[in-house]
Amino acid sequence: MAADGKEIRVEQLSEGQLDALIEAQNRIFEDYIIQIRSSRQFFMDFLRSVGGDLREVIVSMDGDQIVGYVCPVIDGDEAWIGGLGVLPSHRRRGIGTRLMLAAEEKCRSKGVREVTLEVIEGNDLAKRFYEKLGYAGSRRYLTAEGRPARFEGFGQMPEPATQAEIVRMHARSYADTCWQKRTVHAIMSSARGAERYKVDGGFVLLRVVETNAFIPFLGVLPEKRRTGVATSLTRFALNRLWNLGAFKVTVYNVNEDLPTLRLLDMFDFKVTMKEIEMKKNMAGK
Ligand SMILES: CC(C)(COP(=O)(O)OP(=O)(O)OC[C@H]1O[C@@H](n2cnc3c(N)ncnc32)[C@H](O)[C@@H]1OP(=O)(O)O)[C@@H](O)C(=O)NCCC(=O)NCCS
C-alpha cells in the first residue's frame, strides 16, 4: 500500500470494474452518516434517474484496488457530484481532493460553468472538505416521513395523467429546485413505476414498494400557487396510498421554504434528514 497519496493513480473507471466499484462503495460508506448499501441494481438505477453515465465515473487506484471514486453527472453547462468517497484506510492523504479536482477538470473540459453537490447536515467533515475546495452552501433540502391517511373531498378530483403531461408540468413547476429533482431523467424514471395524476395546475406521482410509499414528485405550476392545489393533491395522494395499503410515506429533497414546511406540518410529516446544497462556479479557474 502506498504510504502517501502519491502512488495512487486517478483514472477513468474501466469496463469490467463495476463490481469492484460497488464493493468499494460499500466499504467507503460503512461509517457514513446514514446507512447506504450499494448493489449493481441500486447504482445503475440511481445513475439512470439522475441522467448519469458510468463512463464518467473516476476512480483512485492503489495497485489494482479501487480506494476511492467520484461520480460527476454532466448536463449541458451544469454538473452535479453524484457521490464521492475514499476508503477509511486511505483518507487524509489528498485522494478525495485529487478525485474532486479530476471531476472538475472533466466538467470544465465539457463546458460546465457550475458544479452542484449536496452534503447531509451533520457531515461536517465533508462540508469543510468541500469548502476548502471552494464550494459554498446555497440552500437546504429536507427528507420527511409521514403516514397515509383517509380523506374525503379533494377539491378538484385528480385524473390519471400521461407521461408527456407530467413531463411538461414538471419542467415548469420544478424549474427552481434541487438538481436531481429537476432533471428530466428523474421524472422519467420515477414516472415509469408510479401512479400519475393531474389537476388543472398541478400533478403528483406516487408509488408503493411493499408497505413503504413515496411521493417522488408533487408540483404546482407557478401561476397556480397559493390556491390550495398542493393541499388537495396531498390529501388525494395520502388517501390513495392508504387505499394501496402503505404504512409509511417518504418524501425526498423537498424545499425548505415556508409553504412546504406548512404543508409538511399540516399532514404531520416529520423531517428526518436535511441536506445542504453547495455550489462552485467553474468560470475563470
Ligand atoms: C470526505 C472524503 C471524501 C475526504 O477524502 P480524503 O481523501 O480524506 O480527503 P483529503 O485527504 O483530500 O482531505 C482534504 C482536506 O479536507 C479536510 N478533511 C478531510 N478529512 C478530514 C477529517 N477527518 N477531519 C478534518 N478535516 C478533514 C482537511 O482540510 C483536509 O486537508 P488536510 O489533510 O491537508 O488537513 C472522505 O472523508 C470520505 O470518503 N468520507 C466518507 C464519505 C463521504 O462523506 N463522502 C462525501 C459525501 S457528500
| CATH code, domain carrying 41 | 3.40.630.30
Domain check: are 65 and 152 in the same one?
no
3-class secondary structure, 254: strand
- Model confidence at 185: pLDDT above 60: yes
Question: At residue 195, does pLDDT exceed 70?
Answer: yes
Name the 3-class secondary structure at 192: helix
Q: Is the pLDDT of residue 285 over 60?
A: no
Residue 166 shares a structural domain with residue 249: yes
Within this chain, do residues 57 and 161 fall inside the same structural domain, yes or no? no
**Is 65 domain-assigned?**
yes
Q: ∠188-191-196 over CA atoms, to 5°?
A: 140
Return the minimum-mean-pLDDT range out of 62-66, 167-171, 177-181: 177-181
Burial of residue 27 (number of CB atoms within 10 Å: 0-12, 13-18, 19+): middle
Nearest protein Cα to ligand 1, atom 12: 94
Span 27-39, average pLDDT: 92
Residue whose C-alpha is closest to residue 162's, from 114, 134, 103, 203: 203
Residues 14 and 72 in one domain: yes
Does one domain contain both 108 and 147?
no
pLDDT digits (tens, 9 = 90+) for 236-253: 999 999 999 999 999 999
| Same structural domain, 159 and 265 | yes
Residue located via cell numbers 415509469: 192
Q: Which of 112, 133, 163 is the last residue of a domain?
A: 112
**What cell does 12 get?**
477513468
Which residue's CA is the closest to the ligand 1 atom numbered 33?
92
pLDDT-derived band of residue 5, with 50, 70 and 90 as boundaries? low
Owning domain of residue 65: 5-112
How many domains does the structure of the chain reveal? Answer: 2
- State which ligand 1 atom lies nearest to the alpha carbon of 33: 44
Please state the pTM of the whole predicted model.
Answer: 0.92
Q: What whole-number percentage of the chain has pLDDT above 70?
A: 97
- If asked whether residues 253 and 202 sit together in one domain, one would say yes
Average pLDDT, the chain: 94
Sign of the Cα torsion 30, 32, 35, 39 reads negative
117 lies in some domain? no
Is residue 138 assigned to a domain? no
pLDDT at 1 over 60: no
Are residues 78 and 151 both part of a single domain?
no
Query: What pLDDT sits at residue 113?
Result: 97
Query: Are 100 and 84 in contact, with CB atoms under 8 Å apart?
Result: yes
CA angle 233, 236, 241 (to 5 degrees): 125
Whether 3 shows a pLDDT value over 70: the answer reads no
What lies within 8 Å, CB to CB, of 230 at 6+ separation is 202, 218, 220, 259, 263
Domain presence at residue 269? yes
Nearest CA to ligand 1 atom 41: 85
Q: How far is the CA of 130 from the centre of ligand 1 (A)?
A: 9
Check pLDDT > 80 for residue 6. Answer: no
Q: Residue 30: is its pLDDT beyond 80?
A: yes
Domain end, chosen from 112, 127, 162, is at: 112
Does 17 share its domain with 60?
A: yes
133 lies in some domain: no
**Which phi and psi (to 5°) does residue 75 adopt?**
-140, 95
Residues written for the chain: 285
Question: Across residues 185-207, what is the average pLDDT?
Answer: 94
**Would residue 118 count as lying in a domain?**
no
The type of residue at 250 is T
Asked if pLDDT for residue 213 goes beyond 80, the answer is yes
Does 151 lie in the same domain as 26? no
Is residue 4's pLDDT more than 80?
Answer: no
DSSP run (H or E) holding 81: strand 78-86
Listed residues 95, 112, 129: the one ending a domain: 112
pLDDT number for residue 204 = 98
